[in-house]
Amino acid sequence: MPTGVKIAATPEQLAGVKYDASGLVPAIAQDVRTKDVLMVAWMNAETLQMTLDEGRMVYWSRSRQEIWRKGDTSGDHQDVREGYYDCDADVLLFKVHQHGKGACHTGERTCFYRRFGS
Amino acid sequence: MPTGVKIAATPEQLAGVKYDASGLVPAIAQDVRTKDVLMVAWMNAETLQMTLDEGRMVYWSRSRQEIWRKGDTSGDHQDVREGYYDCDADVLLFKVHQHGKGACHTGERTCFYRRFGS
């Protein structure tokens, strides 16, 4: 069973992350093995730090306005393997090992299970 | 040279897309071949429709507040192959063929070229 990788981000990297007016930054979770995009959710500075420290994806739930340690209720948690930030430092990308049945609350493996077109 | 795929989204799919308070939705561009996440930018309803109609990624530039037909100045345009929307219909994912040297204005192939950690 793979475990999460704790990441020691530098103070410069952490200070460089750009949050929106609500103090949030979008974070993409990508399956480290299949490279499928699993989901996109939001982090604030606190849950980004928790994610890096714990090696496990911790989001900020906008609907519940609370820390969302992915999988605590569902079991479908996500171990961190690598973390990236984009050229503007306003989007994060984590390669993860997805536990359980998948990332999506619908039971699908990825949240992007619906395709435009008929 | 592959060309973009024009996508006939259904009226229900288009009506279901959830835009934020600024009328924008984040759109992920993923390399259809390598599955690398290339970039994340924003679309409004108009540029989403243009993207689907033209088979080519058209974003809304938040900094310039104008339609951003990716690659018109750089040549690094992105042909659409498939388009997806997530379970909440508030994030879009397009699999694209990336032309030119890459997606990033820095000259990197992907905008996510920097990794947390030292």
Contact state of A40 with B30 under an 8 Å Cβ cutoff: no
**Residue B35, Cα to own-chain centre: how many angstroms?**
14
Alpha helices in chain B (DSSP H): 11-16, 45-54
Q: Determine contact, residues B39/B89, Cβ cutoff 8 Å.
A: no
Helix (H), strand (E) counts: chain B: 2, 7
* pLDDT, tens only, A33-57: 999 999 999 999 999 999 999 999 9
- Phi/psi zone of residue B65: left (φ > 0), alpha (ψ -120 to 50 degrees), beta? left
Q: Which of B36, B40, B115 sits opposite A82 (nearest CB)?
A: B115
pLDDT given at position B1? 56
CB atoms within 10 A of CB B104: 19
Q: Determine contact, residues A56/A80, Cβ cutoff 8 Å.
A: yes
pLDDT, average across residues A91-100: 97
- In this prediction the ipTM stands at 0.95
φ, ψ at B102 (rounded to 5°): 160, -175
* pLDDT, tens only, B1-31: 568 999 999 999 999 999 999 999 999 999 9
* pLDDT, tens only, B30-56: 999 999 999 999 999 999 999 999 999
Q: Determine contact, residues A7/A14, Cβ cutoff 8 Å.
A: no
Chain B residue with minimal CA distance to A39? B86
3-state SS assignment for residue B55:
coil
Q: Which of B7, B87, B116 sits opposite A117 (nearest CB)?
A: B7
